[in-house]
Each structure stands twice: as C-alpha cells, then as structure tokens.
Amino acid sequence: MDEQIIGLQDWLATPVGSYLLDWEQKQLDAVVADAFGFHALQLGIPVLDALRSNRMPHRWLADQPPEGVPPCRCALATDFAALPFAAASLDLLVLPHALECSADPHATLREVERVLVPDGRVVICGFNPTSLWTVRQGLGHVLRRIGLRGRMGPLYLPASGESIGLWRLRDWLRLLSFDTEQVRYGCYVPPVRSVKWLARWGFMERMGARWWPILGAAYVVVGVKRVRGMRLMAPAWKPKPQRAAQTAPVASHREAGKHSIPHE
C-alpha cells in the first residue's frame, strides 16, 4: 500500500473501507425502504447498492466519468452539478460521499434541489469531522509536514475530498428549503486497520451509539424538500358578488283584519 491513499475507490477496498460500506449499506437499506415514488437516483460509489431495498419502478446509478475516459463509454456518466434530468422529476436521490468527492458541493446540492419533486427525499452519507478516524487522519498529516512519514503508515482516510460537518450540512440544506428528517451516526471503532482488530472492537458500536452518538466516524442524513406555498389574494378593485336582499312577507289588510282585535 502506498504511503498516501489517493482516492475513495481505492480506500473502499481496504478492510476499513469494507467496514464502512457494511455499515452504510445497512443504514441505506432502512432509510430508503419507505421512500415512495417512481424515480430514484444514486450518485457515485457503484460498489454500494444504495437503492436495493427501494421499490420504485425506475432506479438509476450515475457516476462521474473517470479521468481520461470519454463520457459516451460510461453508463450514465454525468457531472453531479449538471444532472441530465428535468426539474422536479426525481422522487429520491442518494449521495454516498458524493458531496465530499465533488469539486463544488454547493452546486451539487443545488442541482439535487432542482431535480427533486416537492416532498422528495435526499439521503447523504459522509465522514464526520469530529471522530477518532478524522483525528487519526489529522495526526498523519502533521507527521508528514514535519518529515515523519513512516511513523504511522499511510493516511487512514481517503486523501481526496473534504469532510463536511453535520451542522454545516444542515445549514446548507436549510438554505435550500430542506427539512432534516433523520440523522444516523455509526462506525465508533478505533482507527485500526486489520479485519481482526476491527472485529475485536466491534462492541464499540453499541457503546458509542448510547454514550457518545455524535462522535461516529460516519453519518447518514435524510432531508425532505419543502416548497413554501403562497396565498393568492384577489385584487382590491374586483367587486364582490352581492347577495339578493331577502324580503319579509307582509300581510295584506284583508288578512290582517281576520286576526285583528275588534274595537269596542
């Protein structure tokens, strides 16, 4: 293994990457199972089948075209910031680390908002910047700056991309009129590398979820697109329809005389 892991795809093939994929697959199976509609799209990470438990009739996988490969040779290869879908045409979008791998995560999220129908859902997976895994990653960067590259081996997390904190992501979603419906944290094991030690520290998942839930190495966020409605007011000069005046029955003199009291 190289001293510095370059991309996410290579990192996912490591024992730590497989551990993350297993956790994210379980979470995605749970959160997309009850998402209803007709059209669903997954952006990135083809090794993760994010839509397998969803029952929508039309489901697609899109990925960014690899460097040096023409887009026409890739199945549904597209720029995440310019999706080939009409506005308000998709019911569900799943972004497993797509924002972290995007050159412009703001533009990607705006594009997600554009193609989603009102009340459509977006599911976002990401690395938590406040976890043991990211602390280990930061320590590795420090050692490299001072020339101690071999002390801790290669970087623990993918070197490309930037971790997006949950509070920052929720602010982005709020600005685009998304409501945060659900948040899940996971991967509380210490930053070890081997399958053996990952299994030994597996009990930390239960402890972390109970005692320090926000310190998981990864998160899954479910957002719902809301469209604020407007109340249309009628013009002030438009005349209001007048109801016909109701007339009270008036008794005639002859009928009134029948019931009148005679004078003495």
Does residue 233 form part of some domain? no
- Residue 110 maps to which CATH number? 3.40.50.150
Does residue 234 form part of some domain? no
Does residue 248 form part of some domain? no
**Per-residue pLDDT, 18:** 96
- Provide the pLDDT confidence category of residue 249 given band limits of 50, 70 and 90: low
**Per-residue pLDDT, 175:** 95
Residue 13 to residues 46, 47, 210, Cα–Cα distance (Å): 12, 10, 29
Range of the domain at 173: 8-225
261 Cβ contact list (under 8 Å, min separation 6) = none
Q: How far apart are CA 102 and CA 13, in angstroms?
A: 20
Does residue 139 form part of some domain? yes
Total domains in the fold of the chain? 1
Handedness of CA 236, 237, 241, 246 (dihedral sign): positive
pTM across the whole model: 0.79
Q: What is the pLDDT of residues 3-28, one digit of tens each?
A: 454 578 889 999 999 999 999 999 99
Does residue 132 form part of some domain? yes
Of 246, 176, 189, nearest to 216 (Cα)? Answer: 189
Handedness of CA 18, 24, 28, 29 (dihedral sign): positive
More confident call, 162 vs 117: 117
Q: What is the pLDDT of residues 47-104, one digit of tens each?
A: 999 999 999 999 999 987 655 544 443 457 788 889 999 999 999 999 999 999 888 9
Position 209 pLDDT exceeds 60: yes
